[in-house]
Copies of this chain bind each other. A is one copy, B any other.
Amino acid sequence: MVFPTASDWSGLAERSVVVSFIDLNLRGAGQVIFQDNPLTGLLFLLAVIWGAGAAGDPGVAIGAVVALLVANLTAMLLAADEGALRQGLFGFNGLLVGAAMPTFLGGTPTMWVLLVLGAAVSTVVMLAVTAVMRTVGAPALTAPFVLTSWLLLVAAYSLANLAIAGMGPPALAQAPIPAPSPLAGAMPLMQAWLKGPAQIFLIDDALSGVLVIIGLAVSSLRAAGGALLGSAVALGVSLALGADLAAIAGGLYGFSPVLTAVALGCVFYPPSARAALYTLLATILTVIAQAALAAATAPLGIPPLTAAFVLVTWLFLLARPKL
């Protein structure tokens, strides 16, 4: 038996419209963590499917795949830039909207209609955010996912045919109660560390995190290492600052710092000691921004999603340090 190689696949994608469409959707999945690689995308999708299945919530995986397809079809209808389309840049925000909707809303027919609509809208928002950020020379990152999802999720508090599930209720933040230092034994450190990369896809599963890391590794060992380091830094910093232990254990303090670490450490700056230090500062700040956004979104009853990553990475890109 002969495995198809990457160049076999590329050749197929050029000759066949169907394979080309599959290819750009797989790349779209890969672009969630900056990888223009269909095999990476396939492994990311497997991570989502495994995690959703293990949690008994297949809707998250179905939503992610449906929304990925809809977002890319919308980009084709809008005659979006061909090159960006082929690199999967119109898919990743849709995929995330599609994973978020069934995570935070009940599976009513209205939710599924809005999931499809939200996926289409994510492409419009991607085009708009890209146009705005181009004027300052920065990419859209996952801002279209965050904006679109926040709009749909907070609307659920006004719309009776959507069911709130897995978020809220809206509440004012309270001064946290200093907890006794957690025993290392009581905190499943390894689980928390691996769930960070999985939670990028809203999946609460360590094995999914391993699949995400493998997906990164087949495309870029450096990105896989950056993700593991970013998750480790997030784990240490969130424990040291006294963040909520259940949130840490679920990987909720890890996913945004992982994205920041990969973006700044492995994508946008060439490797150097100063770039590494700069990325470390940004990764630590992303943990604090995650804590900030958790408190700031509480009165609205919505999740922070990847807003901490977007905010910090934008700041650290726009600063344009001479690295």
Mark A residues whose CB is within 8 Å of B. Answer: 77-80, 110, 114, 117, 120-121, 124-125, 127-129, 131-132, 135-136, 150-152, 154-164, 168-179, 240-244, 274, 278, 281, 284-285, 288-289, 291-292, 294-296, 299-301, 314-322
Contacts and interface: CB of A to CB of B under 8 A. Distances in A.
Given A178-B161, A241-B161, A242-B162, A320 B154 contact: no
Contact of A292 (B80, B124, B151, B320): B151
B174 A160 contact: no
Nearest to A151: B292
A224 to B, nearest CB: 26
Given A160-B241, A169-B174, 9 more contacts: A78-B319, A121-B281, A121-B285, A128-B314, A154-B295, A157-B174, A163-B178, A164-B175, A170-B299
A207 to B, nearest CB: 28
A158 B292 contact: yes
Contacts of A244: 158
A42 B127 CA distance: 38
This chain: copies in complex: 3
B114 A152 contact: no
Nearest to A125: B315
Contacts of A172: 169-172, 299, 301
Contact of A127 (B162, B170, B318): B318
17 contacts: A78-B319, A78-B321, A124-B319, A125-B319, A128-B315, A135-B135, A150-B292, A151-B289, A151-B292, A155-B289, A156-B175, A158-B243, A159-B176, A160-B178, A161-B240, A161-B241, A163-B175
**Residue among A171, A296, A314 with the most chain B CB within 10 A?**
A296
A284 B68 CA distance: 21
Given A124-B319, A151-B289, A174-B170, A295 B158 contact: yes
A107 B125 CA distance: 41
A135 B318 CA distance: 12
Nearest to A77: B274
Given A78-B319, A243-B158, A314-B128, A301 B173 contact: yes
A293 to B, nearest CB: 8
A317 B124 CA distance: 9
Given A120-B281, A292-B152, A321-B78, A160 B136 contact: no
A107 to B, nearest CB: 14
